[in-house]
């Protein structure tokens, strides 16, 4: 569907009270892959809005601001999320992938009703809450709202994951990272652009990566657009990467791949010296059974009973992400 400029003006002028109805005709969901920096394997996707220009808006935030002004933000977000969930659930292997979705801080005033509607949409799409990561933007200072902590706790108790988006350029990224359990930190494009040619940026990114890892979060480099930027992000320890160099956002899900081979080959000449060491290390790695974070105690007891020589086991999420280590003394303490 396409609109001529004159039609856009008509939509903009007369669509205030029917913004969501019009958005249903114009808005599409695009997916951009987020991949493992070390291998190029697809870890998940960010859901992005496309078609806002058909309604006469210059960017998604402009459309969301307008929806907020006319009291239709919650309905618009519900429609956008519903389409994203439906598209994601139709992707091959979606049960082992993560979907990253932006959450507008102005929805906090809706309280638990917002989360309950999300849960119903996920049930309809057949998606586990643990497969959804909400990105908290630094566009607004969320922490000033007294209901924010309650919302974050409700999301985490519901099994959802949390990411800090645009880290480093907004109001409260450090406060969020300090005060709330965060699963992912997304480094803003500002620090990634030209990273290979800027020692200052490399130093800052390295510190963000180390800080994120120390606090138990995986780090995502956003806006990676060149091979050189990707190589430096990988060398500095970024866990995941996203950007035009990997793949552009697309509404055509047939373009999405399970792995992006050009990433594994990038900078291969610089990695040859560590190949032998990597082979020797991998040969000594011991494969252990894992505890799932939602396992009940009976399953945990049975795992220790079947492996009496093992005093600990890794704990994985439903999406096979490492969440920690469960020691035998933890189990004994519970008993």
* Shared domain check, 150 and 99: yes
* Shared domain check, 321 and 214: no
Q: How far apart are CA 19 and CA 24, in angstroms?
A: 9
Condensed to tens digits (0 to 9), the pLDDT of residues 106-117 reads 777 666 677 788
pLDDT band at residue 264 under the 50/70/90 scheme: confident
Candidate ranges 45-49, 281-285, 315-319, 321-325; pick with highest mean pLDDT: 45-49
Domain holding 310, by residue range, is: 286-334
Q: How far apart are CA 44 and CA 52, in angstroms?
A: 24
* Shared domain check, 177 and 64: yes
Q: How far apart are CA 314 and CA 321, in angstroms?
A: 10
Domain count for the chain, please give it.
2
> What CATH number is associated with residue 39?
3.20.20.450
* Shared domain check, 299 and 272: no
* Shared domain check, 106 and 24: yes
Predicted confidence at residue 302, as pLDDT, reads 82
Contacts of residue 33, Cβ cutoff 8 Å, sequence gap at least 6: 42, 44, 45, 242, 246, 247, 256, 257, 260
Predicted confidence at residue 140, as pLDDT, reads 62
Residue burial 168-187, b: 16+ Cβ < 10 Å; e: rest: bebebbeebbeebebbbbbb
* Shared domain check, 180 and 55: yes
* Shared domain check, 240 and 300: no
The tokens describing 109, both together, are 């005033």
Q: In the sheet that 291-292 helps form, which strands lie side by side, from edge to edge?
A: 291-292, 312-316, 322-327
Q: How far apart are CA 94 and CA 103, in angstroms?
A: 21
* Shared domain check, 300 and 266: no
Predicted confidence at residue 265, as pLDDT, reads 79
Q: How many CB atoms are closer than 10 A to CB 207?
A: 11
Contacts of residue 321, Cβ cutoff 8 Å, sequence gap at least 6: 218
Condensed to tens digits (0 to 9), the pLDDT of residues 53-74 reads 988 899 998 999 898 888 888 8
pLDDT band at residue 139 under the 50/70/90 scheme: low
In DSSP notation, 246-276 reads T---BS-GGG--SB-HHHHHTTHHHHGGGHH
Is the confidence at residue 5, as pLDDT, over 70? no
> What CATH number is associated with residue 314?
3.10.580.10
Condensed to tens digits (0 to 9), the pLDDT of residues 201-234 reads 999 999 999 999 999 899 999 999 999 999 999 9
Q: How far apart are CA 242 and CA 235, in angstroms?
A: 15
pLDDT above 90 as % of the chain: 42
* Shared domain check, 104 and 45: yes
Asked if residues 31 and 45 have their Cβ atoms less than 8 Å apart, the reply is: yes
Is the confidence at residue 164, as pLDDT, over 80? yes
């Amino acid at each position: 569907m396409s609109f001529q400029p004159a039609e856009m003006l008509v939509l903009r002028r007369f669509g205030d009270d029917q913004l969501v109805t019009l958005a249903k005709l114009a808005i599409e969901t695009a997916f951009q892959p987020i991949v493992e920096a070390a291998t190029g394997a697809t870890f998940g996707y960010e859901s992005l809005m496309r078609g806002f220009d058909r309604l006469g808006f210059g960017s998604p935030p402009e459309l969301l601001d307008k929806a907020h002004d006319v009291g239709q933000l919650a309905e618009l977000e519900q429609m956008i999320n519903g389409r994203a969930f439906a598209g994601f659930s139709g992707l091959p292997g979606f049960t082992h992938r993560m979907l990253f979705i932006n959450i507008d801080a102005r929805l906090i005033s809706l309280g638990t009703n917002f989360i309950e509607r999300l849960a119903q949409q996920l049930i309809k799409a057949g998606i586990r809450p643990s497969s959804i990561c909400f990105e908290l933007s630094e566009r607004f200072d969320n922490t000033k709202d007294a209901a924010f902590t309650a919302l974050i706790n409700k999301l985490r108790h519901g099994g959802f994951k949390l990411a800090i988006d645009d880290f480093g350029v907004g109001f409260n990224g450090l406060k969020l990272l300090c005060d709330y359990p965060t699963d992912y930190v997304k480094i803003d494009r500002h620090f990634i652009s030209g990273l290979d040619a800027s020692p200052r940026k490399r130093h800052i990114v390295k510190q963000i990566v180390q800080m994120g890892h120390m606090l138990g979060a995986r780090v995502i480099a956003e806006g990676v657009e060149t091979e050189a930027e990707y190589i430096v992000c990988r060398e500095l320890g970024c866990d995941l990467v996203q950007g035009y160099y990997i793949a552009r956002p697309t509404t055509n899900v047939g373009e999405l791949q399970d792995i992006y081979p050009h990433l594994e080959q990038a900078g291969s000449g610089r990695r040859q010296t560590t190949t032998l060491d990597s082979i020797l290390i991998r040969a000594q790695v011991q494969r252990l059974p894992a505890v799932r974070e939602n396992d009940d105690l009976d399953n945990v007891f049975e795992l220790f009973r079947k492996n009496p020589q093992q005093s600990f086991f890794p704990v994985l999420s439903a999406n096979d992400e490492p969440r920690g280590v469960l020691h035998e003394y933890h189990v004994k303490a519970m008993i």
